[in-house]
């Protein structure tokens, strides 16, 4: 297997965007291949031993990629599936992205049996890592840490959540909220269209910014993530909000400290969340050796599976070789029988001898080119043993 790899470790997001490959063109050009593209990586996976064996490889800018081959490529794929190669260690999203890439290649009919086995084993390994370890537990982005903090301190089930802002940080919050059983989500933003788009992801509602105070009275939990240059949540604005849990993840801050003076208002800032995220990341990193142990086990299992596949292919090819000889010798024997030059018993005897001689002759020719005579001797002994048993 060969993997062409370009990721966040080497390129920023805009640089990766320039490396991205057109999916339709890719599957129109390559066979036995899978294209895995996310905002943080572009990886092209081939079932091949050498680059020069890949038809159409000249269409790819190889200088942009790191090239992984054989066992190194397979191990890397397993690490990707487990989230060990992600910007956020142990994140779950990459596993779904790998599944989707596999299904796309399968749908296009561009995946070999061997490559399919490897990809499915990688997905299985990623699933094991998340079930048997804590590699994906605890939010490590500020957005996910905000949701985690709200859930631990205040509870999310049956609550009304107000998200203020619609930028990158707000998107991280939305991703984390998708998995939670909240009652309602309200999104407020100065650009109403952006608020509508985000709200739609969670089946929530969008409100215009001039309706913010009304939304604050309705909300149990407020997560503020705007890019405003000055605070938007003040003591005056929140005086009628009632019991409210506020998490401010904006930089600069969206809140003023004096809102803590209001009865029933609880405020957490981005500094509190950084501590949560850093602690969670430390916990995840402690799980890495456990995940690597799972990867090692599954790589060994895969090796056995691939060896078995190789044997099956070899046996199939050997069977086809013998069948071709059998057909030729049968044709010769049938011609002799039609001419009635010899008794049937003699023709059959000649046929069986010719078949055996041809196979033995070809085997000798083959093994003359094999360096290890021990293997040939071992094979002969095994044939003898099976012959005696039969």
Q: Please check if 41 is assigned to a binding site.
A: yes
Considering the four listed CATH numbers 3.30.460.30, 3.40.50.300, 3.90.110.10, 2.60.40.1510, the one that applies to the domain covering 2-137 is: 3.30.460.30
Q: Please check if 166 is assigned to a binding site.
A: yes
Where exactly are the structural domains of the chain?
2-137, 142-277, 305-380
Q: List per-residue pLDDT tens for the chain, 390 residues long.
A: 999 999 988 988 788 888 999 999 999 999 999 999 987 899 999 999 999 889 889 889 899 999 999 999 999 999 999 999 988 888 888 898 999 999 999 999 879 888 999 999 999 999 999 999 999 888 777 778 888 888 888 888 889 999 999 887 787 788 788 778 888 899 999 999 999 988 888 888 999 999 998 999 999 999 998 888 899 999 999 988 888 999 998 888 899 999 999 998 999 888 787 777 788 889 999 999 999 999 999 999 999 888 887 777 667 777 787 888 788 878 877 877 777 777 888 778 877 787 778 777 777 776 666 666 666 666 667 666 665 665
pLDDT of residue 221: 92
Three-state SS across the chain? CEEEEEECCCCCHHHHHHHCCCHHHHHHHCCCEEEEEECCEEEEEECCCCHHHCCCHHHCCHHHCEEEECHHHHHHHHHHHHCCCCCCCCCCHHHHHHHHHHHHHHHCCCCCHHHHHHHHHHHHHHHHHHHHCCCCCCCCCHHHHHHHHHHHHCCCCCCEEEEECCCHHHHHHHHHHCCCCCCEEEEEECCHHHHHHHHHHCCCEEEEHHHHHHHHHHCCEEEECCCCCCCCECHHHHCCCCCEEEEECCCCCCECHHHHHCCCEEEEEHHHHHHHHHHHHHHHHHCHHHHHHHHHHHHHHHHHHHHHHHHHHHHHHHHHHHHHHHHHHHHHHHHHHHHCCCCHHHHHHHHHHHHHHHHHHHHHHHHHCCCCHHHHHHHHHHHHHHHHHC
pLDDT of residue 289: 96
pLDDT digit string (tens) for 234-259?
Answer: 999 998 888 899 999 888 889 999 99
Q: Please check if 128 is assigned to a binding site.
A: no
pLDDT of residue 380: 66
Residue 356 annotated among the catalytic residues of the structure: no
Q: Which of 39, 82, 356, 378 is catalytic?
A: 39
CATH topology classification for 142-277? Rossmann fold (3.40.50)
Q: Please check if 97 is assigned to a binding site.
A: yes
pLDDT of residue 123: 96
Q: Whole-model pTM? A: 0.66
């Amino acid at each position: 297997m060969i993997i062409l790899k370009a990721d966040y470790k080497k390129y920023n997001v805009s640089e990766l965007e320039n490396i991205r490959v057109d999916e339709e063109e890719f599957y129109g050009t390559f066979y036995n291949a899978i294209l895995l593209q996310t905002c943080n990586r572009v990886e092209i996976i081939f079932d091949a031993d050498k680059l020069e064996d890949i038809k159409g490889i000249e269409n790819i800018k190889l200088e942009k990629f790191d090239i992984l081959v054989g066992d190194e490529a397979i191990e890397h794929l397993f690490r990707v599936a487990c989230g060990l190669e992600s910007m956020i260690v142990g994140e779950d999203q990459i596993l779904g992205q790998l599944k989707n890439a596999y299904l796309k290649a399968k749908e296009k009919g561009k995946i070999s049996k061997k490559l399919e086995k490897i990809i499915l084993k990688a997905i299985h390994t990623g699933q094991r890592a998340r079930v048997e370890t804590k590699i994906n537990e605890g939010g490590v982005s500020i957005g996910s840490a905000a949701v985690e903090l709200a859930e631990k301190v205040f509870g999310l089930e049956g609550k009304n959540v107000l998200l203020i802002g619609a930028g990158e940080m707000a998107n991280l919050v939305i991703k984390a909220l998708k998995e939670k059983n909240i009652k309602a989500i309200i999104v407020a933003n100065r650009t109403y269209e952006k608020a509508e788009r985000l709200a739609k992801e969670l089946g929530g509602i969008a409100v215009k910014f001039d309706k913010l105070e009304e939304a604050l009275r309705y909300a149990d939990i407020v997560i503020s993530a705007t890019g405003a240059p000055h605070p938007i949540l003040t003591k005056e604005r929140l005086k009628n909000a009632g019991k409210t849990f506020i998490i401010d993840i904006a930089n600069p801050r969206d809140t003023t400290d004096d809102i803590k003076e209001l009865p029933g208002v609880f405020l957490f800032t981005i500094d509190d969340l950084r501590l949560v995220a850093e602690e969670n990341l430390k916990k995840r990193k402690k799980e890495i050796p456990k995940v690597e142990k799972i990867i090692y086990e599954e790589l060994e299992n895969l090796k056995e599976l691939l060896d078995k596949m190789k044997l099956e292919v070899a046996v199939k090819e050997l069977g086809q070789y013998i069948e071709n000889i059998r057909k030729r010798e049968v044709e010769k024997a049938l011609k002799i029988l039609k001419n009635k030059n010899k008794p049937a018993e003699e023709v059959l005897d000649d046929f069986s001898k010719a078949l055996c001689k041809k196979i033995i002759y070809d085997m000798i020719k083959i093994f003359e080119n094999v360096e290890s005579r021990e293997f040939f001797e071992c094979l002969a002994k095994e044939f003898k043993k099976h012959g005696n048993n039969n």
